[in-house]
Amino acid sequence: MALVLYSSKTNKNAFKTLIVAEYAGVKVELAANFEMGVTNKTPEFIKMNPIGKIPVLQTPDGPVFESNAIARYVARLTDNALYGSSLIDYAHIEQWIDFSTLEIDANLVSWYRPRTGRAPYLPPAEEAAISALKRGLAALDSHLASNTYLVGHSVTLADIILTSNLYLGFTNLLTKSFTSEFPHVERYFWTLVNQPNFKKILGEVKQTESVPPVQSAKKPEPKKEAKSKKDEAKKEAKKEAPKPAKAEAEEEEEEEAPKPKPKNPLDLLPPSKMILDEWKRLYSNTKTNFREVAIKGFWDMYDPEGYSLWFCDYKYNDENTVSFVTLNKVGGFLQRMDLARKYAFGKMLVIGSEPPFKVKGLWLFRGQEIPQFVIDECYDMELYDWKKVDLSDEAQKERVNQMIEDAEPFEGEALLDAKCFK
């Protein structure tokens, strides 16, 4: 008995199994005459999957549903490299399958379904999904900065499942301006979709140029039945006076007025004399006499009641043995700090002429503590030891000056690179 996949031809969850089948050399046929909304409602289909969802794979030993489970089943039918060559490979492949499902696919679907009228559209929910998706993509981008594939040096089941999930995003939601923030993810996706076994199933893949507009939630009006002339006459006689224009406008305004967004707790702090954007402009525009202009200007502007300064030291410097990987690690951190741009300024130094390289930083935050939303949303924070700057200590104050101006040597060592968050 051949393996039969019940699904539509364009379902990205079906792509997982079909691509796996190409790599595994397994014959999988799409069910003939499958019609979504009809076939999957029949008693025969419900026996295969009680909730009527696709895809479902019919096997000689019975049906299998859930796309990742189906892909795993097909991958194991032959001797191939889709599960790696060791136990740790297997664990890492399963790790990235879970990551792909929970961090990428779930957030793409949460963004996509309301836009296409399949779920209620709630702007705060969309913002949360996009923020979580960016966090997942940033973590993925960091991993792919030094890896061609997710695990090992060839395509595995994890790559097939992740690429199938990304396919939904790249073709429907993720414009070039969005994905350009994640260059290694871009390289990875286009490399995979152009592999022969992928291309055979996916065809030519084109990136979307726009995000779908939100579909109207209004239901279509029911068809009006033909009315008798008597009814029409009654209707004419009982015509209601039109609503005043003001009332119509008020109704429309009430329907369309967006709910106010909850304020960030940092916006509720007492006003500060330090205007962060003015400091950032001074920093960016000072090209000469940096100490006399920018550093002096910083301390003139600095408000110790409204802001606080923090040193950070990477906990695992012994791992920083490859320069470009270390630089990408820091770059990824700064990218994930984007959510704090309104409330923070930072300098990150990569120190040393030979590995292992040291990573140290200086951060200016609004308020007296590191903002809680930054700790919650940016997982890199826990990779650093944080120490509040004691401004009564002249040595610490001088260290702040040196980090702001990229002084070299820094603490007796050469600077490999200095990055600024502003």
What is the mean predicted confidence (pLDDT) over 14-19? Answer: 96
Instruction: Report DSSP state, residue 64.
Output: E
Looking up tokens 């061609």 gives 148
158 pLDDT exceeds 70?
Answer: yes
What are the tens digits of pLDDT across the range 54-88?
A: 999 999 999 999 999 999 999 999 999 999 999 99
Mark residue 312 as left, alpha or beta (left: phi above 0; alpha: psi -120 to 50; beta: remaining).
beta
Are 138 and 332 a contacting pair, CB within 8 Å? yes
The predicted pLDDT at position 302 comes to 97
The predicted pLDDT at position 223 comes to 47
What is the mean predicted confidence (pLDDT) over 11-29? Answer: 95
What are the tens digits of pLDDT across the range 173-213?
A: 999 999 999 999 999 999 999 999 999 999 999 999 999 88
What are the tens digits of pLDDT across the range 230-289?
A: 455 444 544 444 444 433 333 333 334 445 557 789 999 999 999 999 999 999 999 889
The predicted pLDDT at position 258 comes to 46
Question: Which comes out higher in pLDDT, residue 149 or 123?
Answer: 149
> 10 Å Cβ neighbour count for 134?
20
**What's the per-residue H, E or C state across 161-192?**
HHHHHHHHHHHHCCCHHHHCCCHHHHHHHHHH
CA dihedral 45, 48, 53, 56 (to 10 degrees): -110
The predicted pLDDT at position 21 comes to 95
The predicted pLDDT at position 123 comes to 84
Q: Which of 282, 331, 340, 290 is nearest to 310 (CA)?
A: 340
217 pLDDT exceeds 50?
Answer: no
**CA–CA dist 41, 97 (Å, integer):** 29
The predicted pLDDT at position 216 comes to 55
Task: Name the 3-class secondary structure at 15.
Answer: helix
Range in 92-106, 160-174, 262-276 the model is least confident about: 262-276
What are the tens digits of pLDDT across the range 350-370?
A: 999 999 999 999 999 999 999
How high does pLDDT run on average in the chain?
88
Instruction: Please name every residue paired with 158 in a beta bridge, in sequence order, or none if there are none.
Output: none
All structural domains of the chain, each given as residue ranges with its CATH number in brackets, are 3-202 (1.20.1050.10), 269-421 (3.30.70.1010)
The predicted pLDDT at position 1 comes to 57
The predicted pLDDT at position 231 comes to 52
- Percent of the chain residues topping a pLDDT of 70: 89
Q: How confident is residue 9, by pLDDT bands cut at 50, 70 and 90?
A: confident
Question: Which comes out higher in pLDDT, residue 376 or 216?
Answer: 376
The predicted pLDDT at position 243 comes to 44
Question: Which comes out higher in pLDDT, residue 214 or 157?
Answer: 157
Pairing, β 3-6 against β 28-30? parallel
Structure tokens at 398: 């001088």
